[in-house]
A and B are shown apart, each in its own frame.
Chain A
Amino acid sequence: MIYAELQTTTNYDFLRGASHPGELVLAAKALGHAAIGIADRNTLAGVVRAWSQGKAIGQRVLAGARLVFADGTPEVICYPIDREAWGRLTRLLTVGQRRSRKGECHLLAQDLSAHAEGQLMLVVPPERLESPFESRLRDLARDHPGQVWLLASRGYGARDLKRLARLNALAQRCGAPMVAGNDVLYHGPERRALQDVLTCVREGCTITEAGLRLEANAERHLKASAEMARLFADYPEAVARTAEIADRVTFDLSQLKYEYPREPVPPGKTAIAHLRDLAWAGAAWRYPAAIPEKVGALLNAELALIEELDYPNYFLTVHDIVHWARSQGILCQGRGSAANSVVCFCLGVTSVDPTEPDHDMLFARFISRERDEPPDIDVDFEHERRELVMQYVYERYGRARAAICATVIHYRPRSAIRDVGKALGLTEDVTAALAGTVWGSWGDGLPDEHIRQAGLDPASPDIRRATTLATELLGFPRHLSQHVGGFVLTERRLDETVPIGNGAMKDRTFIEWDKDDIDALGLMKVDVLALGMLTAIKRAMDILGIADMADIPREDPAVYEMLSRADSVGVFQVESRAQMSMLPRMKPNRFYDLVIEVAIVRPGPIQGDMVHPYLRRREGIEKVEFPKPSPEHGPPDELERVLGKTKGVPLFQEQAMRLAIEAAKFTPEEANGLRRAMATFRHYGDVGVYGAKFVEGMTRRGYDPAFAQRCFKQIEGFGSYGFPESHAISFAKLVYVSAWIKCRHPDVFCAALLNSQPMGFYQPAQLVRDAREHGVEVREADVMWSGWDCEIEPDPPSGAGKGFLRLGLRQIRGLRQDEAARLIAARKAGARTLSDLARIADLSRQALEFLAEADAFRSLGLDRRAALWAVKGMAPERRVEADAPLLALMGAPAENAVDLPAMALSAHVAEDYRTTSLSLKAHPCRFFRPLLNELGAVTAVSLRDRRDGARVAVGGLVLIRQRPGTAKGIVFITLEDETGSANVVVWKDVFAANRREAMSAAFLVVHGRMQKAGEVIHVVAERFTDLSGRLGELRTGAPALRASEPRLLKSRDFH
């Protein structure tokens, strides 16, 4: 007798199921089940994963859901028999989810009856079999004859057999045959402990408090047919029915055939014809003189491939969105495997001309015939206006057909240890200490050494238990969240394919499946993403009157020269400290170097130890050579063809794939599997399996095993951090464009960045400082001169001179844009005094105070203190004045002038930082120079003149702290003093001994040694002097009485 388990809960039934869908399917296969039915509570979130696994190993998987009702209707497990019934099930769940809060599903009995056609319904009996249940079961069986069964399970309760007999009688009375199920919560009994922990997390209690909320035993796992037959020995037909039910289901997820939306294709035209017309029209626009022959040929070839693979609708849809954005003047840039095509360049999806040298990436390589999945294009939009694009998509395709994908939020080490610790009843201190041992969002479990460092004993049973279970919990889905911008668009109603639920944001809906699910099913997705740099570039291009990024002069040597000096503050992607220390070594001098630069300083290549080999080869220290396979196995240059552009070092994901295919002879499918294993849950996936295969494949073909090992290690290092070349090229374009603006128009560049804040790595103070160092004159925000945005003012007003950067009112913390707009209007209307401005602009007292405290009244002859005194004296709230207009003119009766103490320059600087986050008056460190001298600290700029290994001390404000996961516990700190910034390296042991200073000081003197490598200068810290407490002296001139949060600017900390 063959059994099929139809009552299975996966871990996508959050905090209940304790096995991944794949694990359950594998176990069902091993036990020889006819089929396994996946039925999570009111969700279909896990079925695609189960189905994919089933497809891979040949195990039949039924997709269904366990419906839990809010109105007392008994639980029903539903399996749709065909595509139409599937659509009804997804609509039913959509109805339930849409009427409840995010993550919940509120179902009622009438929802089931409205969508019951074609559903096989397995009713789950409640714990107590009372008469209301019987009548509901009878009604259900009567209304849907032949569709209803009564589930019975053997949980090893005291009175199991008695209950079974009762259920059987009940089933016969009601006409709902009894069917066996094991109410599975995990694939094997060893998951009981984890399932108990999940129960505790769900119930918000500890394991000792959980009591009867836990399962009494570990029996709710998948069991073999023979065991099920034994447990149901008196009711063999209940076991036999499982396979019969499974046989009645003809639906399979592969039937969800994708249908493209019709909107982008004009009526009466085929999609490919329309795409052809658009592409050629675009080519004429891109190459106004004449379309180069190469472009024409490529275009024809690409269009032919697109036609063959039937993807024209995809390109048309992307074009439709991009075209609308362009019509609104919203800057965008496509990236992804299909983006670096001539078609996309001509359609305006990207600004990267793929006919330029080194861009010989054949489009065909990325939309390969073998890879039977839709092309992938992500489009970045200006971050401030991305929302408009999203609204357009909703409007154009309707909410019934467009929705955002889900992102599955998984347990990470920190969250896992926190939840497990809490469930096991560890104290908050211990849990926090354990969680604290995991720096960064990803680690490899919890090494004993870290636990010891946190002051805990890794051998203690409590700790052992917590870390073991937390490791097991890693990678479990925790909840669904909304993807940042991945849209799924369909032609038929989307809710007949997948349930749609409410997002946390109002008016946002998202589907239950994530990117991987969409990929696996072959549905179409367009990523509409937000990118701050595009906002900044757009603003700069507007000021400069440039229409398209493609119009910016290419290959300007001055740009490369600037980047080679690591003069890259504010430039897209290459402004980080790691990038900055790479630039002087890379010395990029052409576009493709930027592509490599973008890809190389990433955790993947760093972990894979690819950076140094590449640099050595680039600098000519190491010979570029390509190992060859044995002659009988292939051409000697097969590696050169794959890795030639990157000097034999695999840097891009595409190269890893090609390496696997060419050198290790993976089938395209296997290569794809490897890509997925790397991209998704690398640490817990099956990368290892591929690894063995990879090394074996290369060794068999005559490569040195050590070399093969190294290659795979590099590939593995990519993880999901690996960068596809196609993305790197699109990003490199933005690097070049932003660098060009910075190089040629530093004032415009600075203004554009300031107007696009918050974004990027640096804060306004550093951006302004950098601009000033590049000869830009910057002036304060002022009520009489500033607009809302930072602007370039001609100087003199006639416009003859170079002009200067006037900070905008947006720099003033707290000031609202509408009030600023009224202020500017009042100024234009002729207001010239404080009271006129206040009256005509109808500014609130609060807005005036913000302006005063930001020292924006200087041009009216008032410094911040005088301005604040005057503003505060301007009569109560201005609403009252309407009734007393006389009083309004200058406040109230004349006051005697008051003598306020003059404000010290240092206090002004501190106030500038507080109100505008930067100061043009002076750098705070200037006031501490005597103190810094006393401590032996030299200026940051003078570090250049010190020799390598010299003992130095340097002091400044802490700008940035980084503890990259790749750097083995090293912390990087960037300090800034009045002369410039200094980079500090803190080794692990020094960090451990000076944890507090290294982690929290705002003003710090670092004592250590110089480390110089070419133009890259570091101070290796040995000890610290924390001066944070002294920052208060800027205001008072005296040391602060007690500690508080004495910060001028909050450092940006990355870890």
Chain B
Amino acid sequence: MRRLAAIDGAAAALGLFVGQKAADASALAPGLVTADAEPEADSAALVALADWCCRFSPAVAIDAPDGLVLDITGVAHLWWGEGAMVADLLRRLESNGLTARASVAGNPAAAGALARFAPGPTLVAEGGEAEALAPLPVTALRLEAPVAAQIVRLGLTTIGRLAALPRAALTRRFGAEVVTRLDQALGKSRQALVFRRPPTPWLARLAFAEPISAPEDLARVTADIAALICARLETEGRGAGRFELTFHRLDGKAIPLAIGLAIPGRDPRAIARLFAPMLETVDPGFGIEVVTLAAMAVERRGQSQRRLEQGGEVPVEEGVAPLVDRLVNRLGDEAVWRAEPHPSHAPERAVMRRPALSPSASAGWSRDRPRPLRLFRRPEPIEAMAPIPDDPPVFFRWRGVHHRVRLAEGPERLAEEWWRRPLEDDRPSRVRDYYRVEDESGARFWLFRAGLYGGGDPPKWWLHGLF
């Protein structure tokens, strides 16, 4: 069953709520626009946000599913105080289109409770938690829902009321968890947080005492920096699919260059070679003082050492990979591809362009459905003569040349894809009968007749490819 996982303000105004059945919600609000929840993407986004928050504090912990805890001990003064810091954080989030709530307190539990349940940003000084938390509902302690509901039913609706009861009585009734949460929020016990460390970026940097500008210097530093990052990739058993080389000029301008690899790699010489033709486009201005090389699309990759018994043989992909890389980096992504069968009955759609070195996804070309090596982008009209109703043609004329058919196979009857046209237009006679024919000179053609004899419009003949 589909349920609403999150709603926006407009939906809330309509009375929809999180947890509602999606079908009910759509019935209530016809035209409701929904999108599938993507919890993984949400948590990935939260992680990214956590990394971004490093600008505010080096210690950021994720408070799943929707919170972040920033330890701002000793850093708030950089923003001229906690209030200004919270305001800055919220403003920046808002300008990025994120709605957020924030509060500051002496411990993460209290700050979390206040952020989620206090009416607005709240700053609580160390020791002031009990007072600040007292009016909040017990759910702010993030207890298990049934426990929280039962506590409320006992009349203990606020944290204040709960905190006023003897600890022992609470523990007996609700277990240690409730008291632990309460103590954490009141700052009576500490909560261990797991702070997130942003991953070390795959970045190498070379700074020069003397700015460089000679082309051969550029080529040399490119090779140097490639060796630097590739050594790191090698140690960690990884390869990268994309490299971005940036030259930082004295005047602060940065000139980026990028190359891609068909197979993630870490061969410094190959990488430098791919960059080489682009270096001439770099205008060094008054000189370049820093060069950085970032590796992207980094993934795990085995050791390049081959076993002895394999000898010098290189897998086909690796053999042509350098060539493909060079072609792609020269001609562009679009220009280099491989044809692969695509599961479709329509010949035009039965071929798929795939990246030159991607692993083959299909089972190969079927022998039962012979397809020409060269399929015309548009079939060409021909004149043909064939016995009815569906025998192969005896001769045909293409581009003014007369061909007498010596051998033929077919028909292979392919009906049109009815879902691509209005249903009323779909008639059983909308078919193509394909024939593979050979003329007297031994040339092979792929012809078809569109339509059936006696099926309304007179059929027409076309040539669709050459074998």
Contacts and interface: CB of A to CB of B under 8 A. Distances in A.
B434 interface: yes
Interface stretch (A209-217, A538-546, A783-791, A929-937): A209-217
B277 interface: no
Contacts of B22: 432
Contacts of B156: 900-901
Contacts of B137: 1041
A196 B412 CA distance: 19
Contact of B19 (A436, A468, A1044): A1044
A1043 B155 CA distance: 21
A959 B153 CA distance: 25
A161 B30 CA distance: 55
Contacts of B31: 433, 455
Q: Most chain-B CB neighbours within 10 Å: which of A468, A999, A1035, A1043?
A: A1043
B413 A455 contact: no
A531 B369 CA distance: 60
Contact of A208 (B15, B419, B421): B419
A159 B271 CA distance: 50
Contacts of B172: 872-873, 875-876, 891-892
Contact of B169 (A208, A424, A895, A1042): A895
A370 interface: no
Given A193-B423, A211-B342, A869-B173, A217 B27 contact: no
Given A158-B368, A429-B26, A1043-B12, A868 B415 contact: no
Contacts of B62: none
A156 B411 contact: yes
A192 B345 contact: no
Contacts of B434: 158
Contacts of A469: 423
Contact of B428 (A192, A211, A213, A1035): A192
A455 B422 CA distance: 21
A218 interface: yes
A219 interface: yes
Nearest to B29: A996
A995 B414 contact: no
A232 to B, nearest CB: 14
B409 A159 contact: yes
Interface in B141-196: 150, 152-157, 161, 165-166, 168-169, 172-174
Nearest to A432: B26
A834 B144 CA distance: 27
Contacts of A216: 345, 412-415
A212 B30 contact: no
A1045 interface: yes
Interface string A190-205: 1011001000000000
Interface in A812-862: 849, 853
Nearest to B152: A1035
B30 A995 contact: yes
A1041 B118 CA distance: 12
A869 B368 contact: no
A433 B423 contact: no
A848 to B, nearest CB: 12
B28 A211 contact: no
A896 B166 CA distance: 9
Nearest to A896: B166
Interface size class of A (residues with CB under 8 A): 35 or more
A559 to B, nearest CB: 41
B34 to A, nearest CB: 6
Contacts of A461: 421-423
A464 interface: yes
A214 B154 contact: no
A104 to B, nearest CB: 25
B419 A996 contact: no
A429 B433 CA distance: 39
A865 B154 contact: yes
A204 to B, nearest CB: 15
Given A159-B409, A454-B30, A1045-B19, A872 B161 contact: no
A127 B363 CA distance: 15
B428 A189 contact: yes
A189 B418 CA distance: 13
Interface string B401-430: 000000001111111001101110010100
B101 to A, nearest CB: 14
A901 B345 contact: no
Contact of B419 (A157, A207, A903): A207
Nearest to B33: A429
Given A217-B415, A429-B26, A454-B30, A465 B155 contact: no
A865 B161 CA distance: 15
Contacts of A190: 428
B154 A1026 contact: no
A687 B342 CA distance: 48
B370 A158 contact: yes
A428 interface: yes
Contacts of A903: 155
B431 interface: yes
Contacts of A900: 154-156
A149 B428 CA distance: 31
Nearest to B32: A429
Contacts of B19: 1044-1045
B417 to A, nearest CB: 8
A231 to B, nearest CB: 10
Contacts of B29: 995-996
Nearest to B422: A461
A1000 interface: yes
B30 A192 contact: no
Nearest to A995: B28
Contacts of B12: 1042-1043
Contacts of B169: 873, 895, 898
B39 to A, nearest CB: 18
B154 A157 contact: no
Given A192-B418, A193-B426, A895-B169, A428 B34 contact: yes
Given A996-B29, A1045-B20, A156 B413 contact: yes
Contacts of B409: 158-159, 161-162
B17 A432 contact: no
A250 interface: no
A212 B343 contact: yes
A468 B368 contact: no
Interface in A883-936: 891-892, 895-896, 898, 900-903, 911
Interface in A544-564: none
A1036 interface: yes
Contact of B153 (A428, A853, A995): A853
A422 to B, nearest CB: 13
B150 A868 contact: yes
B343 A433 contact: no
Contacts of B361: none
Nearest to B31: A455
A1043 B343 contact: no
Nearest to A900: B155
Contacts of A424: 419
B323 to A, nearest CB: 32
Given A159-B409, A211-B344, A217-B414, A865 B174 contact: no
Given A196-B419, A429-B33, A892-B172, 9 more contacts: A156-B433, A158-B369, A453-B30, A454-B30, A853-B153, A864-B153, A868-B154, A903-B155, A1044-B17
21 contacts: A127-B368, A156-B433, A158-B369, A158-B410, A158-B412, A189-B428, A192-B418, A216-B413, A216-B415, A429-B33, A453-B30, A464-B422, A465-B423, A868-B150, A898-B165, A999-B27, A1035-B152, A1036-B157, A1042-B12, A1042-B17, A1045-B17
Closest 6 CB pairs of A and B: A211-B343, A156-B413, A158-B412, A872-B173, A901-B155, A189-B428
Interface of B: 12, 14-17, 19-20, 22-24, 26-34, 137, 150, 152-157, 161, 165-166, 168-169, 172-174, 342-345, 368-370, 409-415, 418-419, 421-423, 426, 428, 431, 433-434, 436
